[in-house]
Each structure stands twice: as C-alpha cells, then as structure tokens.
Amino acid sequence: MSAVTGIFKPPRAQTRAPGSRPVRDRLALAAALAAPFLVCLALVPLRTSLTHTNAALVLVVVVVAVAALGSRTAGVVAALSAAAWFDFFLTRPYETFDITASADVETAVLLLAVGVLVAQLAARARRLEVVTVTDAAHLARVQRTADLAKTANSADVVVDHVRGELTGLLGLRACRFEYGSLLGRPPRLEPDGGVTVGRRAWDPDADGWPEGEIELRAYGNGHYLGRFMLTPGLGPVPPLQARLVAVTLADQTGAALDTAGPARR
C-alpha cells in the first residue's frame, strides 16, 4: 500500500475563516482574562498571611486549567493576566502595578515564565490527545476495510463500503465509483495526499479543493481498475493525514478488485 507509512504523520493545521474560532476557545479566552482576576480578588483577605510563593502556585494552577481547556493563546493570556493581577492585588504597594520588593519582582517574573511554559505544555498535550484519537479512528477505517476485503463475496461490497468511508473521512457531498477506462482529466488526489489539476500541482491546504469532482484512482497489482469520483462538501479541506488514509482505502479497493474482479454495473 503506497500510503500506509504516511498514516501516522501529524495533520497539518487547517486554516480557519475569520470569526470561525470555536466556542470552546472563545470561552477559554474569556476565562483567561477573568479567572486570574477573580482568584486574586478572592486571595485579597489572605494577602497578609499567605506567602507570595503560595499565591503564585495557586495562580499557576489556574493557568494550567485554562490552557488545558482552551488553546495555547488562552494559556498565555491567562499567564499574563495572572502576573498582572498578582502584582496589583497581592504585592505592596497594593492596588497599583508597582512592586517595591525585589523578591516580589522575582516571584511575578517567575509566575509569568512558569505560566507561559505550562500553557505551552498543556496545549501540546491537548493537541497530541487529538492526534492520537484521530490516528486511532483512521486506523480503524483501514482495519475495517481490510477485514471486509477478506470476507466479502464480491469486490463491489468493498467498493460500496469504501465509498461510505471516504464520504465521512473527507467530508464529501457525494462519492461514486467508475470502473474501467479513464474519461476526461479531472483534478486528482495523488498517492502523496497532494492534488494535481492537469499537470499543475494544487495546494489544497492553502487553496481549498479545486472546483468539480476529484478523482482518486484504484490500482490492483499495478494495473488501473477504476476510480472514486469525489464531490467535496462545504467544510474545510481534510488534513494531509486524512487524505493519505483515503489513498490507502483506494489501494485496498484496488487489491480487492484485482483479486475478486468486479460485478460490473
């Protein structure tokens, strides 16, 4: 299979249209601004008895929580907010952004640095969790298709199954399979997950899908046996990882066709 080795590459980041930030990230940004302020305000009655180190540790926990729930940006904003309100509410002179004690300056700087660091780590952990779940889902698609190819009485069963898998995987509006000869020169999804239009390379991550149907060819034992015709949906272009899985599914279809032969329609 030409693309199996690419299944586990991390997906490229998808470009979002302006204003399309997920609700979760917007809420996390709001929490990044508000949570450190509210925690520092709650610590005001204890500021004469609570050490600045302990107060800073409480704020680091807040930063970690915000970063874990939101994005890296939310975590960094929470770190900046925590350092600012720590200075304002918990260091002398109170309720100003001045710090007179050098130890308090060091604590505020460390709070900011540690907050930014843990925000980066929490965001990275969240991304890795998403990639792991995505990899598991993709692997399950490939495994289901391989199991079906072993047990199906007709390769057409595999074709119909892969049509459904491709529709969900790539967010397609429609997907059909053409047996036999090639007609026309539609855009093509290539084995490396890229797209070509005619003889020109097309960058789907930057430019979106090209217009019209896109072909994904199925080969068996090196011979062309048919192609899936993909009609993209209105959503974003799936990442490289998903496109490589699509190529793998087409390869599995080609192998099934080569072994069993299609009941041509």
Looking at residue 261, what is its pLDDT?
A: 56
Q: Is the pLDDT of residue 14 over 70?
A: no
In whole angstroms, how far apart are CA 120 and each of 77, 78, 113, 131, 178? 11, 12, 11, 16, 48
In whole angstroms, how far apart are CA 192 and each of 22, 59, 97, 160, 245? 30, 46, 55, 24, 10
CB distance 190 to 178 below 8 Å: no
Instruction: Please state, rounded to an integer, the average pLDDT across all residues of the chain.
Output: 83
List b or e across 125-151, with b for residues whose CB sees 16 or more CB atoms inside 10 angstroms: ebeeeebeebbeebeebbeebbebbee
Looking at residue 254, what is its pLDDT?
A: 92
Q: How confident is the model at residue 115 (pLDDT cuts 50, 70, 90)?
A: confident
Rounded mean pLDDT of 32-51? 92
Rounded mean pLDDT of 172-197? 91
pLDDT in tens, 139-180: 889 999 999 988 888 899 999 999 999 999 999 999 999 987
Per the model's pLDDT, the better-predicted residue between 28 and 19 turns out to be 28
pLDDT in tens, 195-213: 999 889 999 988 899 999 9
pTM of the model: 0.54
Q: Is the pLDDT of residue 39 over 70?
A: yes
Q: Among 9-13, 80-84, 108-112, name the most confident range.
A: 80-84
Q: Is the pLDDT of residue 100 over 60?
A: yes
Looking at residue 153, what is its pLDDT?
A: 85
